[in-house]
Amino acid sequence: MKYAHLLGILLCVIACNTSRKKEDHQLLTIQKTTTAPTLDGKAMENVWNLAPWHPLDQNWLGEAYSFEDFSGRYKLSWDEDNLYLLVEIQDDSLYDARKDPLKLWWDDDCVEVFIDEDNSGGLHQFNHNAFAYHIALDGNVVDLAPDREPHLYNDHIRSVHTTEGNITTWEIAISLYTDSFKDGSNTKPIKLKRGKKVGFALAYCDNDGSKERENFIGSVFVPGEDKNQGWINADIFGTLVLKE
């Protein structure tokens, strides 16, 4: 009787976990493009002229910063092959001290893109329920894998950036993979369709020459004192809705 009771509790817990649903917040409607942007860091295509800017202004980590030190904004579009991201960063210093892309990658200046393909939310630190792609200034893309080690995911994301003065413009193409993705496999990215919801957040690691990054600035408001949760918990991601 005791074991039957424990089994009932276990089944209830499993059912609750599998039926959980992420609460949509920061809902953004993203328009489809008929012509993919050229990734050259110049943002001259009509797709970017038509897309609205969104702010990158939530200080997830670090002391308050000035507008002269940092400001950021971004645009989004999509086609069946990729999610497209334009990021404009105004930063008075770009810092890339670590040449090994798998060492302390978060402490150099980098764009971080959080993707939850099925918008399911939940934990993803050491699994592929969601991805936290760190895009370095040299183009390498890093995230933690199920083996608890950092891996390169350069075939998931293509990026080009240009810098004029203190403004850096990033053009990024992101292929989306399901949570069944296995490292070292020949898994193909999914095709995107109208009406699909994607969990998404954007952030920037800002370092002006210190041993560690000074700030971590995100696109989504995170309640509470601990705002540095995106690399662990996809529940904090916003939600993109793909439209035509």
* Spatial separation of the C-alpha atoms in residues 11 and 227, rounded to whole Å: 33
pLDDT at 108: 92
Is 56 inside any structural domain? yes
Is 5 inside any structural domain? no
* Spatial separation of the C-alpha atoms in residues 167 and 192, rounded to whole Å: 31
Is 239 inside any structural domain? yes
Is 3 inside any structural domain? no
Q: What is the pLDDT along the chain (244 residues), one digit of tens a residue?
A: 444 443 343 444 344 444 568 999 999 999 999 999 999 999 999 999 999 999 999 999 999 998 888 999 999 999 999 999 999 999 988 988 888 999 999 999 999 999 999 999 999 999 999 999 999 999 999 999 999 999 999 999 999 999 999 999 999 999 999 999 999 999 999 999 999 999 999 999 999 888 899 999 999 999 999 999 999 999 999 999 999 9
CA atoms within 13 A on the CB side of 43: 23
Q: What is the DSSP track for 164-224? A: ETTEEEEEEEE----TT--TTS-PPPPPP-TT-EEEEEEEEEE-SSSSS-SEEEESS---S
Is 7 inside any structural domain? no
Is 17 inside any structural domain? no
Is 16 inside any structural domain? no
For residue 128, the domain's CATH number is 2.60.40.1190
Is 4 inside any structural domain? no
Considering only CA atoms, give the Rg of the chain.
19
Say how many domains are in the chain: 1
Angle (CA) 217 102 215, round 5°: 15
Q: CB of 194 within 8 A of CB of 244?
A: yes
Per the document, the length of the chain is 244
Q: Which residue range forms the structural domain that includes residue 219? A: 22-243
110 by DSSP, 3-state: which? strand
